[in-house]
């Protein structure tokens, strides 16, 4: 296997320009929602809402202005974490999801049967069905570009190098330096998310965040489906898989994130994830 490759995404220099979102959609030919005609969410400058089958990069905006004199506007370009221990890969019944020679996790649309098992298996709520082909889709870390020796589209487009692409080991070193710089500059609540092995064996796409993970919809302690089984959720886990296989035939994309989250909570797949309402607004 080639060296593990990944992303280091740094909130502290993200300007929320969304070039990553657009570059991703353009390279991967993903459609705009409803031809681009959507409603203003009123949630800061985020009109995308969430990662899903047609949005593989998503910039979240966090307004931390309870005390205006210390006001902060934080922008976070979310993406598939390409976990070393990947829940989606673990549950995929068809083998559509595989680990590449770059240690990234890719779903093969031509094999995926749309069973949806991977959707609740992802502790980060990354995957969803692409309504165009009714298969589960997510960031491939531009597997096609990597094979051609190119940088992923989002990292290429990022004007401030907030999204860095490279060998994970090098990115980790860069991240450590950056964190130290920020701490020295007095940003006491900066931290690295997913840099270390403790989190699912390490996230190949990891982050520098400012403030608590729940501001960014990130679980404090993400779990694999298998580890949840060990905690006595085996039967429920199996049931979940069965239910999702049945539902796989129906696209329920329109149910929206709230309903999906409720469902996930019911299925016990969100047990460690704090509410997104923790995001300051």
Partner 1 sequence: MGRGAATTFAEDLSRSDCIVIQGSNMAENHPVAFRWVIEARKRGATVISVDPRFTRTSAMANIYAPIRPGSDIAFLGGLINYVIENDLYFRDYVVNYTNAATIINEDFEDTEDLDGVFSGLLEFEGEPINGFEYTYDKETWQYEGFPVNRGGRQADADVEQNDDESDAIGGEYFEQAPGGPPYDDLVEYVRPDGLPELDESLEDERCVFQIIRRHFSRYTPEMVERITGCPRDKFLEVAEALTDNSNPSRTSAFCYAVAWTQHTKGVQMIGCAALLQLLLGNIGRPGGGIVALRGHATIQGSTDVPTLYHSIHGYMDHPSALEPHETLENYLVNEIQPTGYWANMPKFLVSYMKSMYGEHATEENGWGWDWHPKITGDFSHMASMVRMARGEIEGFFCMGQNPATSLNGKFERAAMRNLKWLVVKDIFETESAAFWYAAPEVQNGEISPEDIDTEVFFIPSAAVGEMGGSFTNTQRWVQWHEKSADPPGDCRSDEWFTHQLALRLKALYEDSDNPHDEGFNNLLWDFDYDEGEYPEDTRIEGEPDTEKILKEINGYWTDDPDTHLTGFAELEDDGSTTCASWIYCGVFPNPDENKTRNREPDPEGEIGSHQGWAFSWPDNRRILYNRASADPDGNPWSEEKRWVWWDEDAGEWTGYDVPDFDVTKPPDAEADPEGIGLDAHSGSDPFIMMADGKGWLYTPNGMVDGPIPTHYESAEAPIRNPLYSQDKNPITKYWRTDGNELIQHGDRDYPFVVTTYRLTEHHLSGVMTRWLPWLAELQPEMFVEMSEELANTLGIRNTGWCRVSTPRGSIRVKALVTRRLQPLIIDGNIVHCVGMPFHWGYMGVVTGEAANDLTALVGDPNVAIHEAKAFMCNIEPDD
In whole angstroms, give the CA distance from residue 229 to residue 263.
18
String of contacts with partner 1 for each residue 180-219, x by CB under 8 A: -x--------------------------------------
Q: How far apart, in Å, are the Cα atoms of 244 and each of 53, 93, 247, 263?
A: 16, 12, 5, 11
Buried b (16+ CB within 10 A) or exposed e, 30-60: beeeeeeeeeeeeebebebebbbbbbbbbbb
- Least Cβ distance, residue 207 to partner 1 (angstroms): 17
Contact status: 21 vs partner 1 (CB under 8 A): yes
41 vs 94 by CB, closer to partner 1: 41
48 vs 172 by CB, closer to partner 1: 48
103-132 positions binding partner 1, by CB under 8 A: none
Beta bridge partners of 98: 106
- Least Cβ distance, residue 38 to partner 1 (angstroms): 5
In whole angstroms, give the CA distance from residue 120 to residue 132.
20
- Least Cβ distance, residue 53 to partner 1 (angstroms): 15
**In the structure encoding, which two tokens stand for residue 257, read together?**
């994130």
In whole angstroms, give the CA distance from residue 164 to residue 7.
5
In whole angstroms, give the CA distance from residue 273 to residue 278.
11
Q: How far apart, in Å, are the Cα atoms of 236 and each of 86, 196, 268, 270?
A: 19, 29, 8, 13
- Least Cβ distance, residue 45 to partner 1 (angstroms): 7
Strand pairing report for 135-137 and 163-167? unpaired
Contact status: 249 vs partner 1 (CB under 8 A): no
- Least Cβ distance, residue 191 to partner 1 (angstroms): 18
- Select from 20, 51, 74, 192 the one that contacts partner 1 (CB under 8 A): 74
- Which parts of 35-140 fold into alpha helices (H)? 87-91, 118-121
23-62 positions binding partner 1, by CB under 8 A: 25-26, 31-42, 44-45, 47-48
- Select from 65, 95, 101, 133 the one that contacts partner 1 (CB under 8 A): 65
256-275 positions binding partner 1, by CB under 8 A: none
Contact status: 161 vs partner 1 (CB under 8 A): yes
Per CB under 8 A, residues contacting partner 1 are: 13, 15-19, 21-22, 25-26, 31-42, 44-45, 47-48, 63, 65-66, 68, 71-75, 159-161, 181
């Amino acid at each position: 296997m080639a060296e593990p490759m990944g992303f280091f995404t740094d909130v502290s220099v993200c300007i929320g320009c969304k070039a990553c979102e657009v570059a991703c959609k353009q390279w991967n030919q993903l459609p705009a929602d409803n031809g681009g005609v959507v409603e203003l969410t009123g949630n800061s400058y985020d009109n995308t809402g969430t990662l899903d089958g047609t949005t593989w990069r998503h910039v979240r905006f966090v307004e931390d202005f309870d005390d205006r004199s210390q006001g902060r506007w934080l922008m976070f370009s979310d993406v598939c974490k390409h976990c070393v221990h990947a829940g989606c890969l673990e549950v995929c019944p068809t083998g559509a999801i595989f680990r590449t020679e770059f240690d990234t996790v890719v779903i093969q649309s031509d094999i995926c049967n749309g069973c949806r098992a991977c959707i609740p298996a992802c502790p980060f709520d990354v995957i969803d069905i692409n309504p165009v082909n009714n298969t589960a889709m997510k960031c491939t870390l531009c597997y096609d570009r990597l094979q051609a020796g190119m940088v992923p589209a989002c990292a290429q487009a990022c004007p401030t190098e907030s999204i860095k692409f490279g060998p994970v080991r090098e990115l980790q070193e860069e991240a450590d330096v950056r964190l130290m710089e920020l701490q020295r500059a007095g940003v006491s609540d900066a931290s690295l998310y997913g840099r270390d092995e403790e989190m699912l064996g390490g996230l190949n796409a990891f982050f520098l965040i400012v403030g608590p993970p729940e501001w960014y919809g990130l679980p404090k302690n993400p779990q694999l489906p298998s580890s949840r089984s060990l905690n006595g959720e085996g039967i429920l886990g199996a049931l979940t898989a069965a239910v999702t296989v049945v539902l796989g035939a129906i696209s329920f994309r329109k149910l929206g994130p709230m309903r999906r989250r409720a469902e996930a909570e019911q299925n016990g797949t969100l047990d460690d994830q704090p509410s997104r309402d923790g995001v300051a607004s």
